[in-house]
Chain A
Amino acid sequence: MKQYLLSIYQPDGAPPPTVDLERIMRDVGALQAEMQAANAWVFGGGLHEASIATVLRPSGGDVLVVDGPFVEGKEHLGGFTVVRAADLDAALEWGRKLARATTLPIEVRPFRH
């Protein structure tokens, strides 16, 4: 079985009022239960907003500490799930369900091992 990272890309800032957060949380929770029941769920979770991230950069022999996300942008990684799947089609199927549940774009990327 291969493992795939399903990354959730989220616009920065508070979601617009049209977004039904309660429903999204319920759908995502149900999907995680489904993944676990199928023995596909490895690990995952939602993240705090990117603006409170801290970046560490090697510089010479030292490591610099920088306040803020690694890349400035309008969207950042908002959460992720790692799934076990037989092949890309199976991983894409989980990704599709996650996209529907979160209403957000999902990047599916295979682990090297």
Chain B
Amino acid sequence: MAASPSGVPPEAIARLFTRESARAIAILTRLSGDLDLAEDAVQEAFAEALAHWPSTGLPPSPVGWILTTAKRKLVDRVRRESTRESREAQAMHLHALLRADDPPPEEGGVDDDRLRLIFTCCHPALALHVRVALTLRLLGGLTTAEVARAFLVSEATMAQRLARAKRKIRDAGIPYRVPEASELPGRIDGVLVVVYLVFNEGYTASAGDGLVRGDLCGEAVRLGRLLRLLLPEEPEVTGLLALMLLIDSRRDTRTSAEGDLVLLADQDRTRWHAALIAEGHALVRECLRLNRPGPYQLQAAIQAVHAEAPSAARTDWRQILRLYDQLLACQPSPVVALNRAVALAEVEGPAAALAVVDALPLAGFHVFHAVRADLLRRLGRTADAALAYDAAAAATGNEAERAFLRRSCRILFAAPGPHLTGAVTTVP
């Protein structure tokens, strides 16, 4: 359909869908109690917008139009599908409910509907990969095809996964509500892990050629901002947003023009995004004031120390090591211990770090081998370092990382070598 001068380009409607569909789905889910019906109705409303707006132009309140249209679609659908006896009664009931509902809250305002939807999509009774897919689809407003691409599965597979998830939500009776205060902390963790997983998948695509899939990082940051808007009192929510912003501030320097991986120590710090760093720092300070530390806040604080350093050489590694000690205390995992060892190498030297690293049960994790390789190189054990680089290259699924590790291995035999320090401090 050709757009008239007053018309709206389809891309603008697609953007509106990404931004606003979650709110509409959330409101309709509350009213109808059926996520699937709500999603279909909102989808149909946007399809109608796509059919008309390019020629008619935007209605006065596009978001209100979408919501009103979606409500009408929902009532029509219920009327069509209900059994003959209950059809009219049910449709009337729903119609009354929808009419009684207040107009949508102002843009950017706090609304409980989306918060409920988040807790439904991230319910612990759903497998983690299912939660991620549902969240991207329903809250992120990504199309099924986009979610499928993000996780490298076919659209049919993803459609099936989403349909099964929605069926489970309906049939198992996963509630559409914000958890009670007593269960909130645990449930928030379940939401944060989903958002951070999306971010990490965007940051280091677990498979494929490109190192960074920026669209997923942006999506995770957007979800992080939404969560903070909805749960401003939760320090871990703020911590996660700060963490993502600080890591994301380096996205332009993390790969070279040729797409090769550039380590933290070798990045051009003048090209880090100052606005993202400033925002991240402000959030970290807010966390410090709240004084209820947790894993995301501590990781954000570590990133803040890196962001503050004028150069790699002038990084406050003692401060970073102290933060890792705290992180390891509240999250005693081998991966955290590995990251801590990188800081330990800077404070106490590579030998002390290697002793710690060698005791970690992480043989299947490429970063483990990369860290070992670097420590061995610094200890002058070149042959052992080469073997470790090989092991690292074999264990990663990302082409850019593999190329970097192969390059590092070649450079080993031609001084001076690249400085790998800090390579893994951004790996969760």
Contacts and interface: CB of A to CB of B under 8 A. Distances in A.
Contacts of B387: none
Given A87-B175, A89-B174, A89-B175, 13 more contacts: A2-B173, A85-B173, A86-B175, A87-B174, A88-B172, A88-B173, A88-B174, A88-B175, A89-B179, A91-B173, A92-B125, A109-B172, A112-B171
A78 interface: no
B contact patch SS = loop
Interface in A1-38: 2
B173 A87 contact: yes
Interface string A83-105: 00111110110000000000000
Interface of A: 2, 85-89, 91-92, 109-110, 112
Mostly, the A contact residues are mixed
14 contacts: A87-B173, A87-B174, A87-B175, A88-B123, A88-B172, A88-B173, A88-B175, A89-B174, A89-B175, A89-B179, A91-B173, A110-B171, A110-B172, A112-B171
A92 B172 CA distance: 11
B125 A110 contact: no
A70 B427 CA distance: 48
Interface in B173-197: 173-175, 179
Nearest to B123: A88
Nearest to A112: B171
Interface string B325-343: 0000000000000000000
A110 B167 CA distance: 12
* Chain B interface category by residue count: under 10
4 nearest CB pairs, A to B: A87-B175, A87-B173, A88-B173, A88-B174
A88 B175 CA distance: 7
Contacts, number: 23
Interface in B135-186: 171-175, 179
Contacts of B173: 2, 85-88, 91, 110
Interface of B: 123, 125, 171-175, 179
Q: Which of B172, B173, B174 has the most CB of A within 10 A?
A: B173
Nearest to B179: A89
Contacts of A92: 125
Contacts of B123: 88
A12 B125 CA distance: 27
A75 B173 CA distance: 28
Contacts of A87: 173-175
B116 to A, nearest CB: 12
A23 B123 CA distance: 33
B391 to A, nearest CB: 37
Contacts of B179: 89
A7 to B, nearest CB: 14
A58 B173 CA distance: 34
A10 B123 CA distance: 27
Contacts of A85: 173
A88 B179 CA distance: 12
Looking at A85, A88, A92, which has the most chain B CB atoms within 10 Å of its CB?
A88
Contacts of A88: 123, 125, 172-175
Nearest to A92: B125
B143 to A, nearest CB: 28
Most chain-B Cβ atoms within 10 A of its Cβ — which of A2, A85, A87?
A87
Nearest to B125: A88
Contacts of B172: 88, 109-110
B369 to A, nearest CB: 36
A21 B412 CA distance: 63
Nearest to A93: B183
A110 B172 CA distance: 5
A109 B173 CA distance: 10
A87 B171 CA distance: 10
